[in-house]
């Protein structure tokens, strides 16, 4: 599965299909699924199969994985046809960053205009 399953991790359970989700893409390294509480008309999450807590836990051996995640996002966004109008990618890291699930994930939000700064 690409690393140890963390039993109390909701995203590890989604990877192992113990918790149902609307998976839109999967390969040997990552899966993408719709966010259960969407903040935009399009809102999905891309996560590595390997349980990595947050960006703080990334090291050199994960660099290819992070690059792969962004390349998957680019391809999905293009396939889904909202690459031209634009979109937002978000990584919340740690308590002050608003991270609620301790398995690194990248939010992809689209289908509406976003403001900046995020607040």
Binding residues vs Zn ion (CB under 5 A): 6, 9, 11-12, 51, 103
Kindly tell me which residue out of 12, 15, 21, 106 binds ligand 5GP, with binding defined by CB under 6 A.
Answer: 21
The Cα 33–Cα 21 span in angstroms is 6
Give the contacts of 77 (CB within 8 A, at least 6 positions apart): 83, 87, 108, 110
Q: Which of 2, 16, 17, 19 binds ligand 5GP (CB under 6 A)?
A: 19
**Order of strands across the sheet with 23-26?**
23-26, 30-34, 42-48, 106-110, 88-90
Using the minimum distance from each CB to ligand 5GP, give the nearer residue, 34 or 83.
34
Which one, 64 or 112, has the nearer CB to ligand 5GP?
Answer: 112
Instruction: Let me know if 43 is a catalytic residue.
Output: no
The reply to whether 63 sits near ligand 5GP by the rule CB under 6 A is no
Q: Evaluate whether 77 touches 24 at the Cβ level (below 8 Å).
A: no
Binding site for ligand 5GP (CB under 6 A): 10, 19, 21, 33-37, 92, 98-101
Catalytic residues: 105
């Amino acid at each position: 599965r690409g690393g140890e399953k963390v039993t109390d991790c909701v995203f590890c359970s989604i990877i192992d299909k113990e918790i149902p989700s609307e998976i839109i893409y999967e390969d040997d390294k990552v899966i993408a699924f719709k966010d259960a509480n969407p903040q935009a008309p399009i809102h999905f999450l891309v996560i590595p199969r390997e349980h990595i807590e947050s960006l703080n836990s990334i090291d050199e051996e994960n660099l290819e994985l992070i690059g792969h995640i962004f390349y998957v996002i680019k391809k999905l966004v293009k396939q889904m046809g909202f690459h031209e109008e634009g979109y937002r990618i978000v990584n919340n890291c740690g308590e002050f960053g608003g991270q609620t699930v301790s398995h690194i994930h990248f939010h992809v939000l689209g289908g509406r205009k976003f403001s900046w700064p995020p607040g």
